[in-house]
Structure 1
């Protein structure tokens, strides 16, 4: 039987590890390749921090795979969006306004009048390109699916509240607040154009269902390839604490500042001034972070080829996130490696994990300090958290869970069936 043709449009290359969006796409791509002939078009408007190639793994999974970067062509548009008046007058969010559409369409002319059984647009930022492919190239798709992943408008609003006027300035605060409103309008437009919209958690689905039809929303959880469990550690002084994330992402940058200025001092007050060491790893460390690391505030390793040695060396992973959306893949990764997680309530949002069962929740510096102290005072606590966290990620957030959700959503859709209650139940399993 002829396999259906699926077009995936993305700005992020798939990956097995590292950045969360890339991991999500990589897992979904592998699950989809079991059933469909995939054409993947990856167009990036962001300047890469290092050369990026389309790895053989992804080429082999796709019948066609194209990657190109348009940072140079997009720079004039980026400059325009730095102008206050331009941003105030622009009805569209800056996130969707920096694509050099005409140049991109000229690069994609080979797809003129092509017909696909379905298209999967990865993240709302790609919607202008999908619209242009239809309008200018005559590309068609019988089924139209958007992977929203998380609710961009909500994430933006949380960032604005987190940073506030003191950080953004009065006009900056207004511009970023308007950005959230514009993103909400783009979400509404996308719901009118796409047959189904995907999210990464039932919690996000419940929030978005307050605005749009619940039957139009599907859930594919963020998942990981569960690694081999690392050797157990018995927490002892000095505590080795780890933060992992894309470091130039504002909520993560804010988290590192909160760690440096308030949380780690509170932990050291609790456990002793020399009994807590913070290590920070992740892509894109800012100049401020480099300066703080040079001054001895924490150990900084930036983008590392393998995160396993850093998980192996730590006693706990800290997730002091106060803005953003979706689910933190790094929490799932820490569960998989068998490490204790101490997170804010928002940081753990969307993950089926309970306080004192799979992780510890802390929403203030004093609570992070208390949780860290408990690891030294209650030897059995770490073992319980690790065992439950590992079991949870195996049950709910492994590749098997991704495949089940993808099949429940895409196979009925490709067969021309409307989403059913059974499909929704499979895509959002209960705990």
Structure 2
């Protein structure tokens, strides 16, 4: 009986099962709260020999559930689910694995979401993954848009959380022509979800609807059993998705990622010969094969062979970046990007490191380099266009807006000389602050790219909205400058989907706008495994804020921290200290160091000691654009981040899972106090933040994005 009182078969629950006698009762019990929605439960018993069907029948009778057992011998969960699809009589289908449990009311939430969105083919809810020995992990379905092609592409590239079986409700009409691959036991769900996303809209809810149990040992066994045959079968199924219009580059990326996952397990089990075969498939992909992780895995295989007494195979050394002519890139920025300290130079240096995977890089700054040190990566050279102490010369242009930096004619001449000598294939220019250089560079650059750290017109509007008396460029004038810049360059880079949409709205011509996220800064100095928590000392907690302290949004945030948030924390934790660290602090920031418990570290040479001692990072930004590198770095070090929603804008972070968010000083202080007083919550927050940032903003992800930002994926080279 439905809620309206009319008899109708609403939902068919399909449960594939093989030897699930120990868990089937709990799975069926979890369905009771949503009993009114369930018209039938199809248990597809795939050759069980442990009385699964008997146990299920007894439980269903005890709970009053409409269970039907379908006996098959198919050998795969995908094939069993297909039997359920073929026999389903409900207008929607809910797949539940026999060892998972529906969270109370979860099916009702999914059903209501699907009903409210008649154009959607599926409704997706959050899921809670439970792994023995680890904290529970919440996976929320955020990031879906009305662009079906983009949803499918992002899902394949792991830019959206995987949909757990049992966290989605599917329209029966939508899945009429879509089936699970029956010949594979890995990634068959990915192929199914991508096919659905490529054809239909997805409705999402943030509430958790499923508790699913992740068995790492069983998953590892699937990877190491006949790995080559497994990979080839998955690759074949992925190729078939191209017929649905799914992006081929994303499919190729997925193949390399699967091969790398299999290789990882093979390395763990010391099956180096099979791992080497998988890495050949990884290296066949032009981006994944040049990633840091691919190099790391190949090195482990190499040394594993040495330990086992095998002859090392030189094919597993790091491949040449582009298997052809070296790609040369010039990255032009205002401040020196090496050594990297604050947000802008961290991004510039990170882009240079990623570009170095493709060939030589020249990292050029307008301002002089105070530090004579050079990058350890010999593929990156540095240069400055202004010398310390030299006489001031005339600037380019007779007039400039407040958003532009002054650039001398002498600097332009030096830049032209560097370009003639270096002969770059691409020139990447840092933002509209260097707008005056775009026209002179246009005839010198084979490819001219504008790297928009922020959409400055949007930022100008935020600053003016916050303080109309502040002397900032009018948003309208900055917007005109951005439009002009987009009319000159070949491509533009932005940090996030949010900035992509803002910039695309300004463009009057079809210029490609690529999302090149900010990556984990100085990742090579951070352990991939979760670092140890900072030691407890007389100062607890140590709160760290890193950023360019001459940048107005950071100046405002530092003031909020020192004058409003820290005193509230000290009321409960009197030994709390705040460390402000960054380049070029303005007098307003220097004055904060006189407050109780506030330390200022000006122009730090090495941030690692500060990060290693920090217990928290609080980011109270009230204006800004792009995405915040300081957040990624803190999370990579296992430092919990507490921030305003604006501070994590564009990062797609889940509140309460990866970060803790509040708009108010009182709320930010309260979150910090609560976390510091609960050691279990602190440990859980550290682990969640660390895992999330490495998977989404690690070096491989940035390398892929930079290569795509050069248009290499478009060209297929």
Short-chain TM bin: 0.7 to 0.9
Q: 1:393 aligns with which of 674, 682, 693?
A: 693
TM-fit CA distance, 1:109: 5.1
Give the conservation status (yes or no) of the 8 Å contact 1:146–1:198: yes
Q: Who is 2:428 aligned against? A: 120
SS at match of 1:306: coil
Q: Who is 2:417 aligned against? A: 110
Q: Who is 2:353 aligned against? A: 30
Q: 1:69 aligns with which of 377, 383, 386?
A: 386
Q: Who is 2:462 aligned against? A: 158
CA distance in 1, matches of 2:611, 2:586: 22
SS at match of 1:351: coil
Q: Who is 2:448 aligned against? A: 144
CA distance in 1, matches of 2:411, 2:648: 38
Q: Structure 1's 8 and 303: CA in aligned 2 closer, same or farther, altered over 3 A?
A: closer
Superposition map of 1:85-234 within 5 A: 92-96=400-404, 98-100=406-408, 102-108=409-415, 110=417, 116-134=424-442, 139-165=443-469, 168=470, 172=471, 176-178=472-474, 180-212=475-507, 216-224=512-520, 225-226=522-523, 227-228=526-527, 229-233=530-534
Q: What TM-score do you get using the length of structure 2 for normalisation?
A: 0.49
CA distance in 2, matches of 1:128, 1:216: 21
CA distance in 1, matches of 2:602, 2:455: 28
Q: 1:279 aligns with which of 566, 570, 579?
A: 579
Q: Who is 1:342 aligned against? A: 642
TM-fit CA distance, 1:391: 0.8
TM-fit CA distance, 1:256: 1.6
Q: Who is 2:708 aligned against? A: 408
Q: Who is 1:383 aligned against? A: 683
Give the conservation status (yes or no) of the 8 Å contact 1:143–1:413: no
CA distance in 1, matches of 2:406, 2:358: 34
Q: Who is 2:295 aligned against? A: none
SS at match of 1:57: coil
Q: Structure 1's 319 and 109: CA in aligned 2 closer, same or farther, altered over 3 A?
A: closer
CA deviation profile, 1:12-45 (whole Å, cap 9, x unmatched): 333364112212122221221232344444322x
Q: 1:261 aligns with which of 540, 559, 563?
A: 563
Q: Who is 1:325 aligned against? A: 625
Larger relative contact order (C-alpha < 8 A, sep ≥ 6)? Answer: 1
Give the conservation status (yes or no) of the 8 Å contact 1:248–1:285: yes
Q: 1:51 aligns with which of 363, 370, 381?
A: 370
CA deviation profile, 1:316-367 (whole Å, cap 9, x unmatched): 1110111121111111111111111110111111213111101111211110
Give the conservation status (yes or no) of the 8 Å contact 1:242–1:280: yes
Q: Structure 1's 111 and 259: CA in aligned 2 closer, same or farther, altered over 3 A?
A: closer
Q: Who is 2:325 aligned against? A: 2
Give the conservation status (yes or no) of the 8 Å contact 1:117–1:414: no
CA distance in 1, matches of 2:711, 2:417: 28
Q: Who is 1:83 aligned against? A: none
CA deviation profile, 1:363-394 (whole Å, cap 9, x unmatched): 11110122022113433221221111111111
Give the conservation status (yes or no) of the 8 Å contact 1:340–1:386: yes
CA distance in 2, matches of 1:13, 1:120: 14
Give the conservation status (yes or no) of the 8 Å contact 2:419–2:444: no
CA deviation profile, 1:80-131 (whole Å, cap 9, x unmatched): 9xxxxx9xxx5x422325222x323333453687865332222222231231
Identify, as 1 or 2, the structure richer in helix: 1
Q: Structure 1's 113 and 397: CA in aligned 2 closer, same or farther, altered over 3 A?
A: closer
CA distance in 2, matches of 1:95, 1:131: 17
CA distance in 2, matches of 1:140, 1:124: 18
CA distance in 2, matches of 1:111, 1:239: 48
Q: Structure 1's 104 and 413: CA in aligned 2 closer, same or farther, altered over 3 A?
A: farther
Give the conservation status (yes or no) of the 8 Å contact 2:337–2:363: no
Give the conservation status (yes or no) of the 8 Å contact 1:263–1:368: yes
TM-fit CA distance, 1:279: 2.1
Give the conservation status (yes or no) of the 8 Å contact 1:243–1:319: yes
Give the conservation status (yes or no) of the 8 Å contact 1:221–1:402: yes
Asked which structure has the greater CA Rg, the reply is 2
Give the conservation status (yes or no) of the 8 Å contact 1:246–1:284: yes
Q: Who is 1:422 aligned against? A: none
Q: Structure 1's 239 and 408: CA in aligned 2 closer, same or farther, altered over 3 A?
A: same
Q: Structure 1's 103 and 404: CA in aligned 2 closer, same or farther, altered over 3 A?
A: same
Give the conservation status (yes or no) of the 8 Å contact 2:352–2:363: no
Q: What TM-score do you get using the length of structure 1 for normalisation?
A: 0.79
TM-fit CA distance, 1:315: 2.0
